[in-house]
Amino acid sequence: MTDKIGKILIVDDNEDVLLAAKLLLKNHFAAVHTESNPNVLPNLLGNESYDVILLDMNFTKDMTSGQEGFYWLNQILKIDPSSVVILITSFGDVDVAVRAIKEGATDFVLKPWQNEKFIATVSSSVKLSESRKEVSYLKSRQQQLSSDIDLKFHDLIGKSQQIQTVFSLIEKVAKTDANVLITGENGTGKELVARAIHRQSHRKDEVFISVDLGAISHSLFESELFGYVKGAFTDAKEDRAGRFELASKGTLFLDEISNIPI
């Protein structure tokens, strides 16, 4: 048996609805909490995190229009824009459902609900919540990695006058669209200089493509750099983009270019 996942909050002023929903959902999800008073939502959401919030659209002071539901939907999304909210109502109004989705609801449930459909709707929403959390985590991780990598001269170390001159040249040329020739013996950091130029250029958000020309045979040089279309030669079974095309709008670093015959 797989472990149950999903922390659910149900907000409805009808205690019978809260009890019925909790009895149904608690067999399928890790935790199901109920609340009859929507006014506690700001404080509740400030202290707790839920995968899915089931929100009634009509509370006691306004029985049919759904305006209270929309109000609390907006409040929830102000507190946490990534919240997954399912609105529930006793009045089957397509226009209301459409408006709910437009205003940020994930789905819409009509009372009285069909149990299987209700469970399926909540399950899908839990999966959506998990996906959003994963995407948020990956974005945060990527931003941190990028900020670490994209520090000026991240991998270049040195305090001598000579390396300071190199740093100065990198800063000057990086702001231009000039073609750059980097010379130096093996192991002196030519690719590091190329990457530093890329990181400080207006192309920094685009791709950096490095090609080791010393490892490409003369017969494959043209197809590797410029690509080919299906059928261009015997083994060309599909179109293939060349390195120049892949690096479009970014930076193409031709490593060991001196190995290529004139």
| Residue ranges in the chain modelled with pLDDT below 70 | 1-2, 60-65, 91-93, 140-154
Q: What is the 3-state secondary structure (H, E, C) of the chain?
A: CCCCCCEEEEECCCHHHHHHHHHHHCCCCCEEEEECCHHHHHHHHHHCCCCEEEEECCCCCCCCCCHHHHHHHHHHHHHCCCCCEEEEECCCCHHHHHHHHHCCCCEEEECCCCHHHHHHHHHHHHHHHHHHHHHHHHHHHHHHHHHHHCCCCCCCCCCCHHHHHHHHHHHHHHCCCCCCCCCCCCCCCHHHHHHHHHHCCCCCCCCEEEEEHHHCCCCCHHHHHHEECCCCCCCCCCCEECHHHHCCCCEEEEECHHHCCC
Given 96, 114, 146, which residue is the final one in a domain?
A: 146
Domain of 84? 7-146
Whole-number pLDDT of residue 151: 54
Given 120, 146, 172, which residue is the final one in a domain?
A: 146
CATH code assigned at 81: 3.40.50.2300
Whole-number pLDDT of residue 144: 59
Whole-number pLDDT of residue 89: 80
152 assigned to some structural domain = no
Global pTM? 0.56
Whole-number pLDDT of residue 54: 96
Whole-number pLDDT of residue 1: 44
